[in-house]
Structure 1
Amino acid sequence: MQTILLDTVIPQQDKKLTSIYNTEARQIVHLQLSANQEIPTHKSPKHVFIVVKSGKVAFTVSDQEIILSPHEVLIMEPDEFHSLKALEDTSILVIKS
């Protein structure tokens, strides 16, 4: 068993990607974006779970846009193309499994 206190591993900075946990089977990262910052279209070979901690972010997945707010979760299948744009200063957890 392992406990991770997120406040100690997630620094509060602009456009920051922080690895929280990383194995071949699973990866958890924290992503912070300032308002209007974007990540271009890409894909992952794994299932991707997006958990919005704060802010608001627009995801485009397979040409469909969805707006996510705090405490919402987006689940993407392997190899789904997606992009995102922070509509506000945003903090999300990205879990790949």
Structure 2
Amino acid sequence: MNKQKSRVKHIPQRTCVGCRETLSKRGLMRIVCTPDGVRYDATGKAEGRGAYLHDKKSCWERALRGSLAHALKTELTQADRDYIAQIISELKDDE
């Protein structure tokens, strides 16, 4: 008798750099450090060092205070901070 085991698909996990909560990779937003500066990566496949965040303002604001720069291993320029502030303004408020 040959039983077939159903394979469980591996779901990649990532940690939000704002609140340190672990979730599935697709449940978080990715920020990537490119030669042009820090950018939001909607596809999750852009080249460069990435960091993951919830879609909550509190996580982004907390990450902007230092953990985002540390995770990306770079210094955030004023242009990077302005870009991130623009993203924060478009996010939903925490509930």
TM value normalised by structure 2: 0.31
Largest Rg, 1 or 2: 2
Greater helix share, structure number: 2
Greater strand share, structure number: 1
TM value normalised by structure 1: 0.31
The higher relative CO (CA closer than 8 Å, separation ≥ 6) is in 1
